[in-house]
Amino acid sequence: MNMEIKMNIKIYADGADLNHISELANDKVISGFTTNPTLMRQAGIENYEMFAHKAIEIVAPRPISLEVFSDEFIEMKTQALKIASWGENVYVKIPITNTKGESSLPLVADLTKSGVKVNVTAIFTNKQIDDTATALAGTSGSNISVFAGRIADAGTDPSQYVERAVNCAQQVGNCEVIWASPREVLNVVQADQLGCHIITVTPDLLKKLVNLGKDLDVFSLDTVKMFYNDASAAGYTI
């Protein structure tokens, strides 16, 4: 990432590979970490609690979000309280609904009152944003994760949703908005311009951040050189 470009947005690394997390824990560009059950499964994690304790220790004191995985709210609460007890830097990810489409926000409100730092995730709509802000009233620290990348995958500009969430977070207090599931480096610039507090970045996208602010003439020439070098290496002839 070009450090000459001044931005207010914080970069959170999204993943579940402990070796990569360890590397990024020494990177000053990374302000926090997030993960989820899908990423953990992809990384071959078999013991949730063992992974979580190692990750929390590695990244401390920077924040890390760990997600519940039950589909029943009573068990979800038990998991959330246990996860929250593992460290002061822990945010507990609660999906906006369960798989039946039932709202998780009563649980979010309950956990918020108990002092748990909650990251409400998989948010896609204005109603979900507004209702989440209400549930987070009195929070000691929370996140509203707008899945901007997936909203864009549906052919809809996510900016309006992120902007709405930022306004709601300001009214809540102690609340930050996450631009989740970004697809390209441009999303970092867009999120920053909207006043979004955090953007999650996968390892693949993190590699591309070195291009942020790159001179386009230089970028063009580098691309031409890449085509030429690959054709030469392949030994193509006509």
Q: What is the pLDDT of residues 10-35, one digit of tens each?
A: 999 999 999 999 999 999 999 999 99
The answer to the question of residue 138 being in a domain is yes
Q: Which of 131-140, 203-212, 216-225 has the lowest mean pLDDT?
A: 203-212
Handedness of CA 203, 205, 208, 213 (dihedral sign): negative
Tell me how far apart the alpha carbons of residues 11 and 30 are, in angstroms, rounded to a whole number: 5
Burial zone of 195 (CB within 10 Å; 0-12 exposed, 13-18 middle, 19+ buried): middle
The answer to the question of residue 5 being in a domain is no
Task: Using only the alpha carbons of the chain, give its radius of gyration.
Answer: 19
Q: Answer whether residue 3 shows pLDDT above 80.
A: no
Tell me if 222 sits within 8 A of 11, measured CB to CB: no
Provide the CB-side half-sphere exposure for 158 (13 A, CA): 28
Q: 86: closest CA among 66, 112, 109? A: 66
Structurally, the chain folds into a number of domains equal to 1
For residue 168, the surrounding DSSP H or E stretch is helix 159-172
Residues spanned by the domain of 185: 10-212
Mean of the pLDDT values across residues 52-74?
Answer: 98
Mean of the pLDDT values across residues 222-234?
Answer: 98
The answer to the question of residue 233 being in a domain is no
The answer to the question of residue 217 being in a domain is no
The answer to the question of residue 232 being in a domain is no
Q: What is the pTM of this model?
A: 0.93
What is the per-residue pLDDT for 58?
A: 98
Longest CA–CA span in the chain (Å) reads 71
The answer to the question of residue 205 being in a domain is yes
Write down the catalytic residue from 93, 100, 117, 225.
93
Tell me if 112 sits within 8 A of 118, measured CB to CB: yes
CATH number at residue 100: 3.20.20.70
Q: For 9, list phi and psi in degrees, rounded to 5.
A: -70, 145
Q: Answer whether residue 142 shows pLDDT above 60.
A: yes
Give the other-Cβ count within 10 Å of 27's Cβ. 12
DSSP letter, residue 103: B
What is the per-residue pLDDT for 6?
A: 80
Mean pLDDT of the chain: 96
The answer to the question of residue 231 being in a domain is no
What is the per-residue pLDDT for 105?
A: 98
Q: Answer whether residue 1 shows pLDDT above 60.
A: no
Judge whether 208 counts as a catalytic residue.
Answer: no
Q: Answer whether residue 2 shows pLDDT above 60.
A: no
The answer to the question of residue 220 being in a domain is no
pLDDT single digits (tens) 78-87: 999 999 999 9
Q: For 206, list phi and psi in degrees, rounded to 5.
A: -60, -35
Please name the residues in contact with 210: beta carbons below 8 A apart, sequence gap of 6 or more: 1, 2
